Amino acid sequence: MKNPKPPELARHRRERLWMMLQLLPVFSVLTILFGGALVLAVLQSLGFAPWFGVNTFPDFSYFGALWGSYSFWQSLALTLYYALMATFISLVMGVLLALAMVRMFPGKSLYKYLYKLPLMIPYTVGIALAVIMLGNGGMLSRLAAFAGLISDPSEFPQILKTHYGWGIIAVYVWKQAPFVTLTIYAVLLGVGRETEEAATILGASRWQTFFQVTLPQILPGIVSSTLIIFAFNIGAFEAPFILGGGYPDTLPVVAWRYFNDADYTLQLQGMATVVSIALIASGILFTYLALYRRYERRIGRN
Amino acid sequence: MTKVQLKGVRKDFGAFTAIENIDLEIASGELVALLGPSGCGKTTTLRMISGLEVPSFGSILFDDKDVSEVPVQDRNVGMVFQRYALFPHMSVEKNVAFGLKVRGTPRPEIEERLQEILDVVQLNEFRHRFPAQLSGGQMQRVAIARTLITKPSVLMMDEPLANLDTKLRGEMRRFIRALQKRLGITTIFVTHDQVEAMELADRVAVIFEGHLAQYDAPDALYQRPNSIKIADFMGATNIFNAKVDASGQAQTSFTTLKLGPDEIGQGSRNASVILRSEVIDLLLTAEEAPADNTFAGVVTAREFFGATVNYSVTCGEEKIIVTEQSRRLVEIGQQVWLNIQPDRIWLIPEAA
Ligand SMILES: Nc1ncnc2c1ncn2[C@@H]1O[C@H](COP(=O)(O)OP(=O)(O)OP(=O)(O)O)[C@@H](O)[C@H]1O
Ligand SMILES: [Mg+2]
């Protein structure tokens, strides 16, 4: 038997209308600025650019050329490697710091201010710091030479401008670990210590308590913070441009080179690169979210 | 199966002293209630016994062995938290089975014990629900089941029955008592309900502001409190100043009471007398009363509780509460005579 649907109250109808009205400004900004730009980018990457005197729409050759070249896949691998590595390290460090912060330790109140510092300093300053600290002839190499570990600063192992990307990852982590800490710390404060204590009394070891009790409860914070930093990392340009190892570049740098080329028809190739980045990033993030949703449903959260 | 001792235990939180020097011995298999007003340090005491909190001074012994160095996981204690502390991301059965799972108990045994305990706490039909989908009383039962399933050697419960309705509360009390007797688990039970403490416990430890005020069997605590504060907390209403003389007479503002034989020949002193409201007889005529310890008064108020009635009887300057089975109802304004047997009067010396 079907339950009769209660009639909608006029009051509720008015409220709904009012809510839609309130949402209108946000919607229009999103659609026009964001959606419009996306549509234009996709159109251009498919050969629609009459303002350059190019209109071969629909033309998949830009994507074909891009995806057909070996260097694209190299660039993609590099991009993903930097982004994933930095996200993972930031996540682990951020969670560890957040866990430490809900416990007592000497100097905690000072530390609570200190760790937020990188959040307020721009990326470019971080990059400059990396150059000063980690570069050849930088502080670290001089210190090492001074301590007698190496005979000359130039012998210091190359950290920046290699395809291992330690410099890039260091800058990302320096900036993003505090962000993860901030997010997870807030979540941990809400969760409280009692479930951990209950688990301990029930006989769980530290590891069991962390993985079976604490982690599932802070997972929403982990998912949202990693989502944000990964999305940033995969599209970030300055750090790999300045601290990267040159050809093959990461995808955003590749796109930038196309855009900056004297041959403006390469703009379309650049657009194809940008759209590729967007596709890949959203594919990964979507899969990630879908997996998380599945987990949430499994543990009965709606 | 485990004897628990607290020796000179003290707990400071910064400059604040939550527990001041408590000595407590809980015999193996005994059920002890920690009774005291809110904020007196009951939870803190439990947390120290469980190992979650480290005493600032003193030591805690299990079976005469100092457990300071024993980690919480290895103490094999159980604790039902005041705010349940259920795992919100686990279903009822996962919550309950957690303790066995982390100890590596084989799966068939977990299943068996899970089924058993869920039947006992009547949560079988809720086994796939999550804590957020349970009522307060159901959550409390999950918390109790989760602890009991691990068969702890010391069981601690922090107001485990606070959120249950009267009927379920009674059932859970009997259940806890029966289980505790059957398994012989040393149990420490926190409550601020003196009736619950007396019904359940072998001995009751009354804590006031971090001090152990009295540690005694329920009847002793009720009938022979060692201070006015405890008498008050245990629900005594008729407490009066008196001058006691060597012949065992207590002079109060409304009458002179003859005391029991124990009080004779102890010299004259000031003291408080406690007249338990239920041991006072209320008589309608002076003739039927015994000659000793009978004094006149007027009923000035009546409270009807169903099974019992409380009368306020004004005798001279004082008001005396008398509790009776409600077999009859005496009208307000009625002249009555009160009588109390000498050995039913409890005396608390002045200082206490
Ligand atoms: N971590 C802490 N830091 C500072 N003070 C604390 C801490 N834990 C407890 N206290 C204080 O210690 C005192 C005793 O607290 P406790 O939780 O043991 O009270 P309780 O007897 O369990 O009270 P209730 O019946 O309300 O649960 C309280 O005054 C409380 O404010
Ligand atoms: Mg408490």
ipTM score for this prediction? 0.83
pLDDT of residue A54: 78
- In this predicted model, which residue has the larger pLDDT, B163 or B101? B101
Nearest ligand for residue B47 CA = 1
Structural domain contains residue A75: yes
- B91 and chain A: CB distance < 8 Å anywhere? yes
The rounded distance, in Å, linking the Cα atoms of A94 and A184 is: 8
Q: Decide if B102 and A202 are in contact by the 8 Å CB cutoff.
A: yes
> Which of A198, A299, A301 minimises the CB distance to B81?
A198
Contacts of A201 in chain B (CB under 8 A): 50, 52, 72-73, 77-79
Structural domain contains residue A15: no
Q: How confident is the model at residue B8 (pLDDT cuts 50, 70, 90)?
A: very high
Q: Are B188 and B49 in contact (CB under 8 A)?
A: yes
Burial B314-342 (b: 16+ CB within 10 A, else e): ebeeeebbbbbeeeeebeeeeebbbbbeb
Consecutive H or E run containing B291: none
The alpha carbon of residue A166 and the mean position of all alpha carbons in its chain are separated, in whole angstroms, by 17
- The predicted-structure confidence for A38-68, as pLDDT tens digits, reads as follows 888 888 888 888 887 778 878 888 888 888 8
> Which of A195, A201, A301 minimises the CB distance to B87?
A195
Residue with the nearest Cα to atom 4 of ligand 1?
B13
pLDDT of residue A302: 59
- In chain A, % of residues over pLDDT 70: 98
DSSP for residue A149: S
- In this predicted model, which residue has the larger pLDDT, B289 or A270? A270
The rounded distance, in Å, linking the Cα atoms of A295 and A289 is: 10
Minimum-distance ligand 1 atom for the alpha carbon of B44: 18
pLDDT of residue B338: 92
**pLDDT (average), residues A244-261:** 84
Report the 3 state secondary structure along B201-270.
Answer: CCEEEEEECCEEEEEECHHHHHHCCCCHHHHHHCCCCEEEEEEECCCCEEECCCCEEECCHHHCCCCCEE
A249 closest CA partner among A257, A261, A130, A230: A257
The rounded distance, in Å, linking the Cα atoms of A117 and B48 is: 38
Mean pLDDT of chain B: 90
Domains in chain B, CATH or no CATH each: 4-232 (3.40.50.300), 237-349 (2.40.50.140)
Give strand pairing partners of B31.
Answer: B187
B263 contacts: CB under 8 Å, gap ≥ 6: B244, B248, B250, B347
Ligand 1 center from residue B3 Cα (angstroms): 25
- B14 and chain A: CB distance < 8 Å anywhere? no
Residue with the nearest Cα to atom 8 of ligand 1?
B44
pLDDT of residue A1: 53
Q: How confident is the model at residue A198 (pLDDT cuts 50, 70, 90)?
A: very high
Give strand pairing partners of B215.
Answer: B205
Residue with the nearest Cα to atom 6 of ligand 1?
B13
pLDDT of residue A114: 86
Enclosing domain of residue A103: 61-298
B83 lines ligand 1 (CB under 6 A): no
Structural domain contains residue A157: yes
B272 closest CA partner among B295, B247, B305, B239: B239
**pLDDT (average), residues A6-15:** 81
Ligand 1 center from residue B210 Cα (angstroms): 10
pLDDT of residue A160: 75
B15 lines ligand 1 (CB under 6 A): no
pLDDT of residue A301: 65
The rounded distance, in Å, linking the Cα atoms of A207 and A56 is: 59
pLDDT of residue B121: 84
The answer to whether the peptide bond before residue B37 is cis (omega within 30 degrees of 0) is no
Quickly list DSSP for A83-106: HHHHHHHHHHHHHHHHHHHTS--T
| A280 three-class SS | helix
- In this predicted model, which residue has the larger pLDDT, B203 or A59? B203
Strand pairing report for B211-216 and B203-208 = antiparallel
- The predicted-structure confidence for B205-231, as pLDDT tens digits, reads as follows 999 999 999 999 999 999 889 999 999
Rg (CA), chain A: 25
Strand pairing report for B31-35 and B203-208 = parallel
B39 lines ligand 1 (CB under 6 A): yes
Residue tagged 């959606």 (tokens)? A35
- The predicted-structure confidence for B250-292, as pLDDT tens digits, reads as follows 888 888 888 888 877 777 888 899 999 999 999 988 888 787 8
What's the one-letter identity of residue A78? Answer: L
B44 lines ligand 1 (CB under 6 A): yes
- In this predicted model, which residue has the larger pLDDT, A94 or A12? A94
Ligand 1 center from residue A101 Cα (angstroms): 22
Structural domain contains residue A83: yes
- In this predicted model, which residue has the larger pLDDT, A187 or B122? A187
Mutate to test the pocket of ligand 1, among B19, B40, B45 (most ligand atoms within 8 A of CB): B40
Q: In chain A, where do the E strands start and end?
A: 48-49, 54-55
End-to-end Cα separation, chain A, in angstroms: 26
Main-chain dihedrals φ then ψ at residue B25, nearest 5 degrees: -125, 125
pLDDT of residue B170: 83
Encoded tokens for A97: 């710091």
B352, pLDDT greater than 70: no
A246, pLDDT greater than 80: no
Q: Are A53 and A283 in contact (CB under 8 A)?
A: no
Encoded tokens for B340: 């109390």
A266, pLDDT greater than 90: no
Which one of B47, B102, B127 makes the best mutation probe of the A interface by having the most chain A beta carbons within 10 Å? B102
B347 lines ligand 1 (CB under 6 A): no
Consecutive H or E run containing A120: helix A117-120
Structural domain contains residue A210: yes
Contacts of B86 in chain A (CB under 8 A): 195, 198
The rounded distance, in Å, linking the Cα atoms of B151 and B100 is: 10
Which one of A193, A195, A201, A299 makes the best mutation probe of the B interface by having the most chain B beta carbons within 10 Å? A201
**pLDDT (average), residues B11-36:** 92
**Residue A138 maps to which CATH number?**
1.10.3720.10
B58, pLDDT greater than 90: yes
A224, pLDDT greater than 80: yes
pLDDT of residue B351: 64
Report the number of distinct structural domains present in chain A.
1
Outline where chain B has alpha helix (H): 42-50, 92-102, 107-120, 136-148, 166-183, 194-200, 218-223, 228-233
- B79 and chain A: CB distance < 8 Å anywhere? yes
Residue with the nearest Cα to atom 9 of ligand 1?
B44
The rounded distance, in Å, linking the Cα atoms of A97 and B64 is: 40
The alpha carbon of residue A242 and the mean position of all alpha carbons in its chain are separated, in whole angstroms, by 18
- The predicted-structure confidence for B224-249, as pLDDT tens digits, reads as follows 899 999 998 888 889 998 888 888 88
**pLDDT (average), residues A287-293:** 92
Contacts of B52 in chain A (CB under 8 A): 197, 200-201
Sign of dihedral through CA atoms B189, B194, B200, B204?
Answer: positive
A86, pLDDT greater than 60: yes
**pLDDT (average), residues A135-146:** 79
Q: Decide if B85 and A300 are in contact by the 8 Å CB cutoff.
A: no
The rounded distance, in Å, linking the Cα atoms of A81 and A78 is: 5
Mean pLDDT of chain A: 86
End-to-end Cα separation, chain B, in angstroms: 36
Minimum-distance ligand 1 atom for the alpha carbon of B82: 27
Structural domain contains residue A140: yes
B26, pLDDT greater than 90: yes
